Structure 1
Amino acid sequence: MEVITRSATVADLPVLAEFLQMLVEAERPFDVTLQRGRIIYYDLRELIESDESELLVLEKEGALVGCGYAKILKARAYLVYEQYAHLGFMFVLPEYRGMGLNQQLISTLKQWAVLKGIREMRLEVYEENTGAIKAYEKAGFSKLLATMRCSLD
C-alpha cells in the first residue's frame, strides 16, 4: 500500500507530539544548547488551524509515518520577497527513510506555497546533519547562511 500525504487534523496531535520528541532527540547530537527533557518547538494545533500554515502528515495503512509543515512568514524589509514559506518539522520514521517520502512532503508543501502566492521557501538545518542537507539539496534548496555561536561560560 502506498504512503499518502494529507493535511494534519487535530486528531493527529498525539502522534505528532511523539514525532516532535523523536525529532528533538535526533537533533540533540547536533546542538549542545538544547535543554534537557521534553522540548516543544512548535504550536502544532496552531499549525493545523492557521490559514498561514500547512501541516502535512504521511499516512500508510492508517498509521502516521512522517510529517512536515510550511508557514508563511514576513521577510526582512531588505529582501526581494515580502513573504516566504518557512519549512519545518520535517520528520519521517527511521524505517521509512530512503523511500522519497521527504521529497513527497516537500513537493506538496511547495505546491501549497505557490497557491498562496509565495515565491520563496526557506528552512534551517544543522550543518552537521549531512543526510538532511543532501535531501534538501535534492529538493532544490541551496545553502545560504551559516549560523555561528560561541559559549561565554
Structure 2
Amino acid sequence: MDFNIKKATLEDLDIAADLFNQYRVFYRQQPDYEKCKQFIQDRLTQEQSHIFLIYVEGKAAGFVQLYELYHYAKLEKQWLLSDLFVHPDYRGKGLSIALIDRSKQWCDETGACGLMLETEKTNDIGNKLYPRCGFEYDGLHNYYHWWK
C-alpha cells in the first residue's frame, strides 16, 4: 500500500482536527469538532506538540501526536506518544507501524532518548501492537491521574 507521512502545520488544521475528533470518539468521548480544532490549533501554534499525518492515495488515514518530556534517569529529552489513530477503513494495513516508525525517526531527528506511551488495559489492538514495535511493558510503575 502506498502512503506518505507529513508533519502537520496549520494548513492541515481541518484534517488533523477531524482525525483527532474521531480518535476521541473511539475513546468514548462526545464528538466536538470545533473544540478539537481549537485544541489542535493551540498545540500547533504554541509548538506544544508535533503531529504526523498519514495519507493513503491522497486521503488522510491517521495521525500520531507527540509531546516533549524529559526522562529523569537518562537526563534527556523523550517524546510522549500521546495519541495514535488510524481510521477504521485503513486498519490492519501497517499504517500504525509506519506512524510509530516515523515517531522513532523524530526521536533521532530531535536528539531524544526514546518514546513513552500509555494505553488502556482494554486496548487489545494497542497492547499487541506496541510490543511488536519494540516497546517494553513497564510493570513496575502505577500511573495516577489527578483531575481538577
TM category, shorter: 0.7 to 0.9
Report deviation, 1:9.
2.3
TM-score by length of 2: 0.80
Distance 1:64 1:146, change over 3 A: same
**What corresponds to 1:15 in structure 2?**
15
SS across alignment from 1:72: strand
Name the structure 1 match of 2:90: 96
CA deviation map 1:49-95 (0-9, x unaligned): 566743110112222111102232123x4x23332111122111001
Are the counterparts in 1 of residues 10 and 41 from structure 2 also a CA contact under 8 Å? yes
Whether the 8 Å contact between 1:70 and 1:113 is mirrored in structure 2 is no
Question: Which has the higher mean CA deviation after the structures are superposed, 66-75 or 111-120?
Answer: 66-75
Which residues in structure 2 correspond to 1:112-127 (within 5 Å)?
Answer: 112-127=106-121
Gaps of 5+ in 2: none
Aligned match of 2:50: 54
2:67 aligned residue: 71
Alignment of 1:19-34 (within 5 A): 19-28=19-28
Aligned equivalents of 1:147 and 1:141: distance in 2?
17
Distance in 2 separating the partners of 1:5 and 1:143 = 27
Q: Distance in 1 between matches of 2:42 and 2:105?
A: 20
Contact 1:58 1:64 in 2 (8 A): yes
Partner of 2:77: 83
> How big is each residue's C-alpha offset from its partner over 1:11-33, in whole Å with a ceiling of 9 and x where there is no partner?
221122121121112112xxxxx
Number of residue-to-residue matches in the alignment: 141
Q: 1:134 to 1:83 in 2, by over 3 A?
A: same
Structure 1 runs not aligned, ≥5 long: 29-33
SS at match of 2:18: helix
2: distance between equivalents of 1:47 and 1:133?
Answer: 27
User: What is the deviation of 1:44?
Assistant: 2.1
What SS class does the counterpart of residue 18 from structure 1 fall into? helix
